[in-house]
Amino acid sequence: MEEQLAELAAKVAELEASAGVTNTIFAETYYYLTIPLMIIIHAGFLAYEMGASRLKNVLASGVKNILAFAFMVPTFYFFGWWVYWAFPTGITLSEGPNGISGLAYANEIALPWVEYMGPNIADNASGVFWGAFTLFAATTASIMSGAVIERIQVVGFVILAIVLGSFAWVVAAAWGWHADGWLVTKFGLHDFGAAGLVHAVAGFFALGVLINLGPRIGKFNADGTANHIPAHNLPFTLTGLMLIIVGFWGFLMACLIVPGEVWSWYGDKFATIYGTPITLSALSFNILMGFAGGIIGAWAITRDPFWMMSGGLAGIIATASGLDIYWPPLAFAMGFAGGGLLKPCSAWLERRGIDDAVGAVTVHGTIGLFGLIMLGIWGSGYPAAQGPDAPTINLMGQIIGAVVFFLLGFVPGYVVSYILKLFGLLRVSEEAEILGLDMTKVPVSAYPEGIGMSGSPAE
Amino acid sequence: MGSAFSDWAEATGPMYMGANSSWEVIWTLVAVVICLFALYMGSKHELDAYKRLKK
């Protein structure tokens, strides 16, 4: 009898170990796959920006976008990841209530030379988490990238991208997208899909840069009225926008914490980054409803395919903060409002002399804050985080978060671009802008045979 | 709008918005009205475009 019991116990232990390994490999694979999905966002931004550029600047816009991505990877490794773990409680760098933040913790897990930041057979989590966050960072840089096309210097742009992607939004994430974040623990901020801390921060960072950068030559007339500078390839831009939407599934997938690991909140269900339960089914309902609402809202107002696809993106951003709790028709209505708001908000900005070439400030900045604040109404009363003492979601908390995210984007964007302007590193020369940036500095041609009618079809 | 629970440990099934106050029905009606409104306005815009062309 004893022998049989021992045999049974050994069998159970073996099964438990096997289940544990399966879970670890599932978790690692899950986050690993979010990385290529999020790279699709960058394929989208690349197509979007190049299509929106005039023929003379196509490749220069592409070079800039590709470099933003490339520089984000090492800089996020050098210090961006460390910032996320060091800053949640504020600038004191002290440890938070969950014990997963502060200077000592960040030094232990995120400095480039510690055991978790390279090959480690006993660590299946750090690399894939870091990779997913690096792609979030690169997304912020790409958001800014589109707004400033056709007149910004490459190195000046890369410096701005690093400040935004490896510092500014990371501080916002530490404060509002971390269980120890002070905006969460003190004010009940909830921003599940990063409408404020990714989109609004990046959008208003871009606004700060645009003020110092100035409009493209020919954008505004002497009386202040604006001219439309058409995209050289709108179908390419529209395809790019659709690719961004595809990539967003990976982005939002990476906002979840998988169950069953030592660092998981639950053994049996997905959680948000705040430790609150969520399902992929809830995400599927609400992402699709927000996306559809955004397209329809923009169509109802503009009838313009550029704004319709931007509206799809705005629809997701408008609902992002509450994708975990919204009832789907509300996500649809929020998306519709986000899509409908785009064109009037963009026109308002243009009347103030801001030349945002792709509407990034409006799509990401304005709609990001709109979605963040509206969750304070629709989601008020829900616990913002896990645990019996968690603060509840409330309008004031969301507004405070919105103000903080606006400042975390706008101030560094304005200050750093102002310094770059002083050193002559911000704007290209007038001659280069008029001739075209491709002919000035890109060693290859985008369309060496021109763009003409295709040959007659074979009979 | 309120929540049906004060601790996420109590959330074990569907999570209706507004503390189970039927807002999900209201939002469904709102979404249906939005779709009908958008289709009506879209149709008007399209027919106007054809009329302009005839003139």
Distance from CA of A277 to the nearest CA of B (A): 7
Q: b/e map of B37-55 (b: 16 or more CB within 10 Å)?
A: ebeeeeeeeeeeeeeeeee
Amino acid identity for residue A198 in this structure: V
**Could you tell me if A287 and A156 are in contact, meaning their C-beta atoms sit under 8 angstroms apart?**
no
Rounded percentage of chain A residues whose pLDDT exceeds 70: 99
Dump pLDDT digits (tens) for A293-326: 999 999 999 999 999 999 999 999 999 999 999 9
- Tell me, yes or no, whether B51 lies in a domain: yes
In the numeric block, the tokens 């019991």 are attached to: A5
Tell me the C-alpha distance between A85 and A107, whole Å: 9
Nearest CA to A316 out of A290, A338, A293 is that of A290
Q: b/e map of A38-61 (b: 16 or more CB within 10 Å)?
A: bebbbebbbbbbbbbbbebbbbbb
Q: Which domain holds residue B49?
A: 23-55
pLDDT at A21: 77
The band of B55, judged by pLDDT with boundaries at 50, 70 and 90, is confident
pLDDT at B23: 85
Mention every residue, 6+ apart, whose C-beta is less than 8 A from residue A214.
Answer: A151, A355, A427
- Tell me, yes or no, whether B3 lies in a domain: no
**Could you tell me if A84 and A150 are in contact, meaning their C-beta atoms sit under 8 angstroms apart?**
no
Tell me the C-alpha distance between A87 and A97, whole Å: 13
Give the 3-state secondary structure percentages of chain A, helix then strand then coil, rounded to 5: 65, 0, 30
Q: A-B interface: how many C-beta pairs under 8 angstroms?
A: 71
pLDDT at A288: 97
- Tell me, yes or no, whether B4 lies in a domain: no
Nearest CA in chain A to B2: A381
Written in H, E and C, the secondary structure of A221-234 is CCCCCECCCCCCCH
Segments making up each domain of chain A, as ranges = 10-115+124-441
Interface touch B3/A383, C-beta < 8 Å: yes
Distance from CA of A332 to the nearest CA of B (A): 7
Interface touch B7/A387, C-beta < 8 Å: yes
Give yes or no for A266 touching B (CB within 8 A).
no
Tell me the C-alpha distance between A6 and A120, whole Å: 34
> Is 70 exceeded by the pLDDT of residue B19?
no
Provide the 8-state DSSP code for A363.
I
Tell me the C-alpha distance between A31 and A256, whole Å: 9
Interface touch A326/B6, C-beta < 8 Å: no
Dump pLDDT digits (tens) for A258-289: 987 777 888 889 999 999 999 999 999 999 99
Tell me the C-alpha distance between A265 and A143, whole Å: 31
Tell me the C-alpha distance between A106 and A127, whole Å: 15
Residue range A408-423: mean pLDDT, rounded:
98
Task: Tell me how crowded residue A150 is: count the other CB atoms within 10 A of its CB.
Answer: 24
pLDDT at A311: 96
> Is 70 exceeded by the pLDDT of residue A12?
yes
Q: Which of A3-7, A140-144, A319-323 has the lowest mean pLDDT?
A: A3-7
Give yes or no for A325 touching B (CB within 8 A).
yes
Total structural domains within chain B = 1
Measure CA A434 to chain center: 32
The band of B15, judged by pLDDT with boundaries at 50, 70 and 90, is confident
- Tell me, yes or no, whether B49 lies in a domain: yes
Interface touch A329/B45, C-beta < 8 Å: no
Nearest CA to A406 out of A230, A235, A196 is that of A196
Distance from CA of B48 to the nearest CA of A (A): 13
Interface touch B3/A381, C-beta < 8 Å: yes
> Is 80 exceeded by the pLDDT of residue A18?
no
Nearest CA to A68 out of A173, A209, A175 is that of A209
> Is 80 exceeded by the pLDDT of residue A439?
yes
- Tell me, yes or no, whether B13 lies in a domain: no
Residue A327 is nearest to which of B5, B6, B27, comparing CB atoms? B27
Query: Is CATH 1.10.3430.10 the classification given to domain A10-115+124-441?
Result: yes
Nearest CA to A267 out of A254, A279, A276, A258 is that of A258
Helix ranges, A95-153 (H): 103-110, 126-147
> Is 80 exceeded by the pLDDT of residue A219?
yes
- Residue A340 tokens read as 């409908």
- Tell me, yes or no, whether B12 lies in a domain: no
Interface touch B17/A276, C-beta < 8 Å: no
Interface touch A383/B41, C-beta < 8 Å: no
The band of A135, judged by pLDDT with boundaries at 50, 70 and 90, is very high
Average pLDDT of chain A is 94
pLDDT at A459: 64
- Residue A7 tokens read as 């045999």
Give yes or no for A377 touching B (CB within 8 A).
yes
pLDDT at A387: 82
- Tell me, yes or no, whether B29 lies in a domain: yes
First to last CA, chain A: 86
Interface touch A329/B16, C-beta < 8 Å: no
CA angle, residues A315, A363, A293, in degrees to nearest 5: 15
**Could you tell me if A209 and A146 are in contact, meaning their C-beta atoms sit under 8 angstroms apart?**
no
The band of A393, judged by pLDDT with boundaries at 50, 70 and 90, is very high
Interface touch A300/B38, C-beta < 8 Å: yes
- Tell me, yes or no, whether B27 lies in a domain: yes
Give yes or no for A220 touching B (CB within 8 A).
no
Residue B8 is nearest to which of A336, A377, A383, comparing CB atoms? A383
